[in-house]
Structure 1
Amino acid sequence: MNLLKKKFMHYRNENYLSILNKINLSFEFFPPSKKNLNQLFWDSIKKLSSLNPIFMSVTYGANNGNKNNTYNFVKKLRNYTKINSVPHMTCVHENKSQLIKIALKYWNNDIKHILALRGDYLHKNTKIKMYAKDLVILLKNIADFKISVAAYPEIHPESKSLQSDLMYLKDKIESGAHQAITQFFFDIDNFLRFRDRCLGVGIKAKIIPGILPIKDFNQVYKFCLLSNIYVPTWIKNLYLKSNQSLEEKNKIGSQLAINMIQSLYEEGVYDFHLYTLNKSDFIYSICCDL
């Protein structure tokens, strides 16, 4: 039986010793609109920062025009929480001179950890000149940044094979990346097999699982279809009951995330990156129940 299904179906009512103080958490946000950037937002961020995360990352909106918002929000986030703030950088729509300018801006403002990504391209005929590996090399040539990169336990949708995907991750690590954060997933066994394959090809860097707690299943399922992420049938069935209230669905999403983290912890995983979708209060309640 799938590890998560076993945990969720058979052990969800048992009491566990808290693991919150035994694990390292990090959180991802996207730059909020001015409308949503209010005191309630900052109050919820403050609650999350009280959990002492290792860092808080901020997505990079090269495709939707908010990349300047990323820089501004990263600075505000760090100043408000005193937590290490990590900007995402993508390179698919940028030239080298633009990337150098952005990187120096971060370094000179004491922001020295970056999540380096290729980024999504808008059109299929886009000629890709730079990949994440190239961005890692560029950043390391500018300054001694700490660099995180992306990893894909269930293979990147554009990859030719599992092996080619692994070798590209290895190239990013060997080019100077310090650690990898995975795309979110819902099959723990797939992550554990991926971790073993990484070790098998000589990847010794930390592989941090990305966890996306489900608050809106329809929204999350659309993400899964776009990103080739497997959703087990038993999880789909949990959300197909028409008589469930919003509160019941939130409890399911919360418990699934808690069980994922507990199960991975039992398998020797101690670092977790939570994709918040800016739903800070929901994420905070999950973390407090770990």
Structure 2
Amino acid sequence: MRPQISFEFFPPKSLEASFRLWDTVQTLSPLQPEFVSVTYGAGGTTRKLTHEAVDAIHKTSGLNVAAHLTCVDATRAETLEIAESYAASGVTDLVALRGDPPKGSGQFTAHPEGFANSCELIEALAQTGKFNIRVGAYPEAHPEAASTQADVDWLKRKVDAGAHSAITQFFFEADTFFRFRDACDKAGITAPILPGILPIENWKGARKFAQSCGTSIPQWLDEAFEKAERDDRQDLLATAICTELCSDLLDGGVEHLHFYTLNRPELTRDVCHALGVTPEVRLENVA
């Protein structure tokens, strides 16, 4: 059975990055994702760029676009105005997040007239009745969370506030997701939870990213990439590892995979192909 898929993009900050985003969209859209999401930068720094990218992808590609929306550095009225502008343009999927604070500012501090946290934002969006609301989830403890159970409890609050589904932070082993899924089931969370997959384009960069967001780094991964680098087989290893992770998840009952593409589509495309997710070719009758 063909798994459902979705992709995350980030908005471009330069002309070169714009071309890379459009190349990514063109490469991956034939795989017919259920949706694609477009991120905010830390501290809401790409708010305008995100809006422009969402609007352009929505109008030109025919894809269902989910726009990231955060609580950072904006009043409630400003945040809801952004949401309403999305709805007016036909974008009704939102990924509602608290958001990361601006770099160098330390912990998140709510705007005096803004939403204090993601639950407040979700509740306000749900009250409009206009949006399909997706949220973040953490299969391993968020750096600011007391424990993994605290993350499960917070996800339950977000679902109770009106979230329709959740997308997890990336992880490197399928059992990490399965343990989290079991804990969510035990907590009474019935909303779909989509595992977030990070194809490893560059191990040093992925490792640094993992350390910053609390993702466990298995020793075998360090050893495998060290050997692959010596043999100049990093791309082969990255494809194999990501494909195996996705296969394990599908074997465990997962029906939808969400890929963090980093606007570099080739590895994600190759993994999808290996999983049997290929462009559908329509054959027309020839007279």
* TM-score where L is the length of structure 1: 0.88
**Residues 16-59 of structure 1: CA deviation (Å, up to 9, x unaligned):** xxx5xx10000000012332256565344222110000001000
Matches within 5 A, 1:1-290: 22-37=2-17, 41-61=21-41, 63=43, 65-122=45-102, 123-124=105-106, 126-128=108-110, 130-241=116-227, 242-245=229-232, 248-290=233-275
Task: Sort the Cα spacing of 1:64 and 1:163 in 2 relative to 1 into closer, same or farther, 3 A.
Answer: closer
**Is the CA contact 1:27–1:274 (under 8 Å) kept in the aligned structure 2?**
yes
In structure 2, what residue type is equivalent to 1:280?
P
Aligned pair count?
Answer: 268
Structure 1 position 125, deviation (Å): 5.7
Q: Give the match's secondary structure for 1:240.
A: helix
| CA 1:257–1:201: 2 relative to 1, 3 Å | same
Between the aligned partners of 1:95 and 1:38, the Cα distance in structure 2 is 29
Q: 1:125 to 1:198 in 2, by over 3 A?
A: closer
Question: Runs ≥4 in structure 1, deviation > 4 angstroms?
Answer: 37-41
Matches of 1:158 and 1:142, distance apart in 2: 30
Q: 1:127 to 1:34 in 2, by over 3 A?
A: closer
**Where in structure 2 are there 5+ consecutive unaligned residues?**
276-287
Gaps of 5+ in 1: 1-18
Distance 1:164 1:190 in 2: 16
Contact 2:139 2:148 in 1 (8 A): no
Q: Distance in 2 between matches of 1:36 and 1:66?
A: 16
- CA separation in 1, counterparts of 2:176 and 2:33? 26
Identity within the alignment, %: 35
CA RMSD of aligned residues (A): 1.6
Distance of aligned partners of 1:105 and 1:62 in 2 relative to their CA distance in 1, 3 Å threshold = farther
SS at match of 2:36: strand
2:8–2:262 CA contact under 8 A, matched in 1: yes
Matched-pair contact (CA < 8 Å) for 2:97–2:136 = yes
Could you tell me how far apart the structure 1 residues matched to 2:14 and 2:50 are? 13
Secondary structure of the corresponding residue to residue 243 of structure 1:
helix
- 8 A Cα contact 2:43 2:72, kept in partner: no
Aligned-partner residue type, residue 144 of structure 2:
E
C-alpha spacing 1:125/1:158, structure 2 compared with 1 (3 Å): closer
- Deviation at 1:75? 1.1
